[in-house]
Structure 1
Amino acid sequence: MSGHSKFANIKHKKEKNDAAKGKIFTKIGKELAVAVKEGGSSDPANNSRLRDVIAKAKANNMPNDTIDRNIKKASGDANAANYEHITYEGYGPNGTAIIVETLTDNRNRTATNVKNAFTKGNGNVGTPGCVSFMFDRKGQIIIDKEEYEGDADELMMQALDAGADDFIEEEDSYEVVTDPDTFSEVRQSLEDAGIAMASAEVTMIPQTYVELTDAKDIASIQKTLDMLDDDDDVQDVYHNWDE
């Protein structure tokens, strides 16, 4: 996995999101609402899913009052979280694999938009399971080296002792990988220790990566990813393009 740290992508996304914070905050607001509904509690102490989404919100620089407002809105409105989880899988140029996770209140609209994004990028939506076997679902925590002044070995031992599966040191970051079931516990342990996290979420990590060398292929997959990123129904996009 070394050499494929997502820290550069995270920084790039944050720079993009600074110009459009409203969009990313809207998406996280949806996740907060769903977490309150599915977790059965608006108290993060009693709702691990909500704790994890709050951590994601903070990693994306969402203000605390905005987080609290979204939670209160979801708690007081029974219809606030009537969203459906739908996952789409498909192919981009040169067999690149793409997974799209959505939260929607209109599956027809979402299906049309996702299909359009693949088509415009010279790809196609496949059947469920067609590419997900190429990914491993893992908890992933990224720590910026500039934000962590401690010893790397101490951080590694702390993460492993908390239940992490792996610890990877990259040039500019540390990556902590966990089983999805232990992610919340490991993340909470690092948060309690005052360790700042650039990213903390359960994600899909490619087993192998596809390199694109043709300029048209690169432009095509970027078109698909940009269209998906702009879609309010799309929460997360995973791919195995080696950017």
Structure 2
Amino acid sequence: MAGHSKWNNIKRRKEAQDNKRAKMFTKYSKEIFAAVRNGGDDPSTNLRLRLALSKARAANMPNDNIERTIKKAKGDQDGLTYEELTYEGYGPGGAAVMVQALTENKNRTVAEVRLAFNKNGGNMGEDGCVAFMFDHKGYLEMNRDDTTISEDDMMLEAIEAGAEEFEYDEERFIIYTDAAHFEDVKHELEQKGHVFSSAEVSMIPQTRTTLSDEDATNMMKLIDQLEDNDDVQNVYHNFDITEEQIQHLTIG
């Protein structure tokens, strides 16, 4: 599962280089809008809204943008609503891909998602073709440079907080939780002074797929094209990028 962390690290680096803040804010606004429409505007009783607000604030989305979006969602907005869609398929080399979208135009979105798959050596599949390869879990990542705690002590604190799994490497601690208990685990660990570089409820792949250099390059292009789509909220995959491919991506 550590590949999830490794890919997120590369993705964040690319996002910083590509200056995608405006697109990120658009996606967060749509998620906040949909959360309010589906569950109301009270974060204390609307888990989806709480998670959406947490992500938006972590990305430094201005409070004015957040409040404006909530007000729009509470109003009629000419009947504006977003349909939630999930697309599944295979990327280059057979890597599994799941795409979650929020859209007011289903035909446009499915056409653009299908084009991204076809253009980059992948293909869309039927519903359920890859979903069974992923688990819905909470994901917490902490940079080891930000703490002096040992692996054993961190693992003990994570277990006591209710975590399901704990992993670590030279750069980070990685904690997985049951999706329903994500906020409780996160809150308890934050109460102990831990600060997370990444915290989300995600689709975690059960196994990882390593691709050839050519397939890896096309896979990264596929992910970039999907994430660049304003209708696409999340892209999940089981592609495990190698250190050599990371180096190539960083240099190239």
For 1:201, what is the secondary structure of its paired residue?
Answer: strand
Output the CA distance in 2 between the equivalents of 1:72 and 1:194: 34
Check conservation: 1:59, 1:198, Cα contact below 8 A: no
Check conservation: 1:34, 1:83, Cα contact below 8 A: yes
Check conservation: 2:23, 2:230, Cα contact below 8 A: yes
CA offsets per residue over residues 68-124 of structure 1, 9 Å max, x none? Answer: 443344334556861111100111122111111111111100000000000001211
Output the CA distance in 2 between the equivalents of 1:15 and 1:152: 26
Residue in 1 that maps onto 2:39? 39
Kindly state the Cα deviation for residue 54 of structure 1 after the two structures are TM-superposed. 1.9
Q: Does 1:173 align with 2:183?
A: no
Kindly state the Cα deviation for residue 214 of structure 1 after the two structures are TM-superposed. 4.2
State the identity %.
46
5 Å matches for 1:55-204? Answer: 55-77=54-76, 82-204=81-203
Kindly report the root-mean-square deviation, in angstroms, between the aligned alpha carbons of the 2 structures: 2.3
Output the CA distance in 2 between the equivalents of 1:152 and 1:68: 40
Output the CA distance in 1 between the equivalents of 2:103 and 2:180: 25
Output the CA distance in 2 between the equivalents of 1:192 and 1:71: 29
Output the CA distance in 1 between the equivalents of 2:33 and 2:205: 29
CA offsets per residue over residues 46-69 of structure 1, 9 Å max, x none? Answer: 322222122222333334444344
Give the counterpart letter for 1:93 in structure 2: P
CA offsets per residue over residues 12-42 of structure 1, 9 Å max, x none? Answer: 33333331200011101111111222222x2
Cα 1:17/1:64, change in 2 over 3 Å:
farther
CA offsets per residue over residues 207-227 of structure 1, 9 Å max, x none? Answer: 211111242x22322221121
For 2:128, what is the secondary structure of its paired residue?
Answer: coil
- Structure 2: runs of 5+ lacking an equivalent: 242-252
Kindly state the Cα deviation for residue 149 of structure 1 after the two structures are TM-superposed. 4.3
Q: Does 1:227 align with 2:225?
A: yes
Give the counterpart letter for 1:37 in structure 2: R
Check conservation: 1:5, 1:170, Cα contact below 8 A: no
For 1:158, what is the secondary structure of its paired residue?
Answer: helix
Output the CA distance in 1 between the equivalents of 2:99 and 2:76: 28
Cα 1:68/1:176, change in 2 over 3 Å:
farther
Cα 1:36/1:147, change in 2 over 3 Å:
farther
Output the CA distance in 2 between the equivalents of 1:165 and 1:185: 13
Check conservation: 2:7, 2:240, Cα contact below 8 A: no
- Structure 1: runs of 5+ lacking an equivalent: none
Output the CA distance in 1 between the equivalents of 2:203 and 2:162: 19
TM-score normalised according to structure 1 size: 0.87
Output the CA distance in 2 between the equivalents of 1:12 and 1:177: 20
Check conservation: 2:4, 2:204, Cα contact below 8 A: no
Give the counterpart letter for 2:238 in structure 1: N
Cα 1:181/1:81, change in 2 over 3 Å:
farther
Cα 1:147/1:205, change in 2 over 3 Å:
same
CA offsets per residue over residues 177-227 of structure 1, 9 Å max, x none? Answer: 011121222223334444322222121111211111242x22322221121
From 8, 11, 21, the equivalent of 1:13 is 11
Output the CA distance in 2 between the equivalents of 1:15 and 1:37: 33
Check conservation: 1:56, 1:199, Cα contact below 8 A: no
Q: Return 73-82 or 88-97, whichever deviates more.
A: 73-82
